[in-house]
């Protein structure tokens, strides 16, 4: 289960002009891209302690997202939606670790279903951010 979904190709905008989106998009995109890069090294954790470590790193991502100052309502909405996905993913990982330790097959299956939903939602959200920040 990977939150990355579609390739996160959010480019830092190098636009010339006074579109207020540029600076704010860059700030949000930097945090999301950095988080994705940092988390890539944690994918594939198989044991419960590794999965919990991944969940803890997601909590750090939430703190970084919260620190991004955004004035534009659309970008705040994107950030908040992404934040919700990260929080949900962290909860799912903790549930996965618990289910793995207890051998609860039903909980493992439910967590996988939730993970698929989160991946789909994150793919759609990344595409929306790309479109908005790309000015399309």
Is residue 12 domain-resident? no
Q: Count CB-CB contacts under 10 A for residue 44.
A: 9
Output helix, strand, coil percentages for the chain, rounded to the nearest 5: 75, 0, 25
Range of the domain at 129: 21-134
How many domains does the chain divide into? 1
Query: What confidence score (pLDDT) does residue 63 get?
Result: 94
Is residue 8 domain-resident? no
pLDDT tens per residue, the chain (136 residues)?
444 444 344 444 344 445 778 889 998 988 888 887 777 766 666 788 888 988 998 999 999 999 999 999 999 999 999 999 999 989 988 998 999 899 888 888 888 787 778 888 888 998 999 899 886 5
| Contact indicator for 39, 57 with CB cutoff of 8 Å | yes
| Contact indicator for 123, 3 with CB cutoff of 8 Å | no
Is residue 3 domain-resident? no
Is residue 90 domain-resident? yes
Could you tell me the two tokens for 80? 């908040």
Buried residues in 79-113 as b, exposed as e (16+ CB within 10 A): bebbbebbebbbebbbbbbbbbeeeeeeeeeebee
Please tell me the pTM assigned to this model.
0.79
Is residue 117 domain-resident? yes
CA distance 11 to 22: 11
Is residue 10 domain-resident? no
């Amino acid at each position: 289960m990977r939150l990355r979904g579609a390739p996160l190709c959010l480019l830092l905008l190098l636009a010339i002009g006074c579109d207020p989106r540029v600076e704010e998009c860059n700030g949000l995109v930097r945090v999301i891209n950095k988080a994705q890069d940092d988390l890539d090294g944690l994918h594939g954790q198989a044991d419960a302690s590794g999965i919990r470590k991944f969940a803890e790193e997601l909590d750090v991502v939430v703190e970084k997202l919260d620190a991004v100052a955004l004035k534009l309502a659309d970008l705040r909405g994107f950030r908040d939606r992404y934040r919700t996905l990260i929080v949900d993913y962290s909860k799912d990982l903790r549930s996965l670790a618990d289910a793995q330790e207890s051998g609860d097959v039903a909980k493992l299956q439910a967590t996988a279903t939730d993970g698929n939903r989160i991946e789909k939602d994150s793919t759609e959200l990344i595409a929306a951010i790309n479109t908005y920040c790309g000015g399309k």
